[in-house]
Amino acid sequence: MATIAVLGTFDTKGPEHAFLAAAIQRAGFVPLLIDVGTLAAPTVVADISADTVARAAGEPDYAALLARRDRGECVTFMGRAAAALVSSLAAAGRIQGIISLGGGGGTAIATAAMRALPIGFPKLMVSTLASGQTAPYVGTTDLTMMPAIVDVSGINRVSRVIFENAAGAICGMVAAAEVRRTAPSPVTEKPLIVASMFGNTTACVTEAKKIIEAAGYEVLVFAATGNGGRAMESLIASGLVAGVLDVTTTEWADELVGGVLGAGPERLDATARARVPAIIAPGCLDMVNFGERASVPAKFAGRTFYQHNPQVTLMRTTPAECIELGRIIAEKINRYTAPVTVLIPRRAISIISAAGQPFHDAAADAALFSSLRTHLRAGIDYVEYDVAINDPAFARACAETLLAHIAAPSLP
């Protein structure tokens, strides 16, 4: 019978977690109550006490830290401790899923623990913060967040429904994972290729993916939306990837200019550290992403915009910004030691930058290409094609060049 960890701050939200545990038990699973509260005595006795969790951090002076009763310090520490504890429980096969209820502090602690668990391990956070900016809590994991609707404060006509649904959800996730573990694998695992994609480069990546898959690889496509780029970087860094098809480097435009889909300054670094073959293209570096039109900062007044949909406003990058983007990306690529080629689609780097489209700017594109070429170190292949990025010929060049790099003998 599968065991589900019910982790929470039992000093403030013990009865709510006990209610959740009872619902899990009624569904035929075994709840394991884990207390991560530190500011008062627990209101419900847990199977694993807060002191046991704290010891898992391996920090000898933890008692002095908790004795200071600094809420922020305690939350940060217990997040680390909980991550260490649940990781060991999962690795030992003692838990098959995890769920928590929380406000700000509880969510921070529980999601830190959940982020330490592998992709595919069932994890569900019922939180008062679930309808807002969840990226800091989810990170690059498959953690599921569910809005609590009302505060986690007692069992009432609303919270009862939410908590019971949450119990059903985590039980269903654990049951599905159990089927996955016991069922025979339908396919033999193939070497992995990762690819970056945006709506404006979908045709290119889709065609290249077909060619690469026909050659015997599995292609995982990541949306270049900030979190997608971070997730791709994380997978590359794990050492599980055989090649990188990074044709949509648009996240660097947001990172540089101040859009909402930046992936952080480490974007493009993992490929260098992992020493895997790569194709790099300047896909969608013509655009910076914002939310609805009213959300665009006033300092960008007078720029060229395109309303992608009511929630997404795109802003055209300028020649000056493109020069800097070319320099940044070239300097990232200069650290690559495995085979790498920079491929340039001269006629358009997105659907809307082609001639006659809203973001067509020959001067900006020329500045980008020239900067890339100028700043690349000697020995890195730079090839231009007189086509748009979504032309099948460009997709074929991306796929075939990457496959050739992978097939090349490894350097000593």
How are beta strands 287-290 and 305-309 bridged, if at all? unpaired
CATH number for the domain spanning 113: value is 3.40.50.12020
Alpha-carbon gap, residue 371 to 328, rounded angstroms: 9
Let me know whether 135 and 221 are in one domain: no
Beta bridge partners of 102: 127
Which of 28-32, 189-193, 389-393 has the lowest average pLDDT?
A: 189-193
Please compute the mean of the pLDDT values over residues 378-391 and round it to a whole number.
Answer: 97
Let me know whether 299 and 321 are in one domain: yes
Please compute the mean of the pLDDT values over residues 387-393 and round it to a whole number.
Answer: 98
pLDDT value for 183: 79
Q: Per the domain annotation, does 268 fall within a domain? A: yes
Last residue of a domain, one of 163, 182, 201: 182
Q: Per the domain annotation, does 412 fall within a domain? A: no
Let me know whether 174 and 223 are in one domain: no
- Write out pLDDT tens, residues 164-177: 999 999 999 999 99
Q: Per the domain annotation, does 187 fall within a domain? A: no
Tell me which residue has tokens 């690819």: 195
23, 167 contact by CB (below 8 A) = yes
Please compute the mean of the pLDDT values over residues 260-269 and round it to a whole number.
Answer: 96
**End-to-end CA, the chain:** 50
Q: Assign 410 a pLDDT band (cuts: 50, 70, 90).
A: low
Please compute the mean of the pLDDT values over residues 354-361 and round it to a whole number.
Answer: 97
**pLDDT over threshold 60, residue 262:** yes
- At residue 165's C-alpha, the angle toward residues 159 and 166, to 5°, is 85
Phi, psi angle pair for 282, to nearest 5°: -85, 40
Please compute the mean of the pLDDT values over residues 59-81 and round it to a whole number.
Answer: 91
Alpha-carbon gap, residue 282 to 342, rounded angstroms: 9
Q: Per the domain annotation, does 177 fall within a domain? A: yes
326, 370 contact by CB (below 8 A) = yes
Taking alpha carbons only, the member of 146, 145, 98, 147 closest to residue 118 is 98
In the sheet where 241-246 sits, what is the strand order?
218-223, 192-197, 241-246, 278-280, 340-345, 381-385
Domain total in the chain: 2
330, 340 contact by CB (below 8 A) = no
User: Longest Cα pair distance anywhere in the chain, in angstroms?
Assistant: 70
Q: Residue 189 is encoded by which pair of tokens?
A: 């695992």
Q: Per the domain annotation, does 122 fall within a domain? A: yes
- Write out pLDDT tens, residues 184-222: 666 567 999 999 999 999 999 999 999 999 999 999 999
Q: Which residue has the higher pLDDT, 98 or 408?
A: 98
Q: Per the domain annotation, does 83 fall within a domain? A: yes
Which of 154-168, 170-184, 306-320, 347-361 has the lowest average pLDDT?
A: 170-184
Let me know whether 213 and 321 are in one domain: yes
Q: Which range marks the domain in which residue 284 is found?
A: 192-407
User: What one-character DSSP code corresponds to residue 100?
Assistant: E
Alpha-carbon gap, residue 187 to 177, rounded angstroms: 17
Contacts of 410 (CB under 8 A, 6+ apart): none
Q: Assign 238 a pLDDT band (cuts: 50, 70, 90).
A: confident
Let me know whether 38 and 172 are in one domain: yes
Beta bridge partners of 194: 220, 244
Please compute the mean of the pLDDT values over residues 310-323 and round it to a whole number.
Answer: 97
Let me know whether 157 and 262 are in one domain: no
Let me know whether 174 and 219 are in one domain: no
Size of the chain in residues: 412
Which pTM was predicted? 0.78
Please compute the mean of the pLDDT values over residues 260-282 and round it to a whole number.
Answer: 96
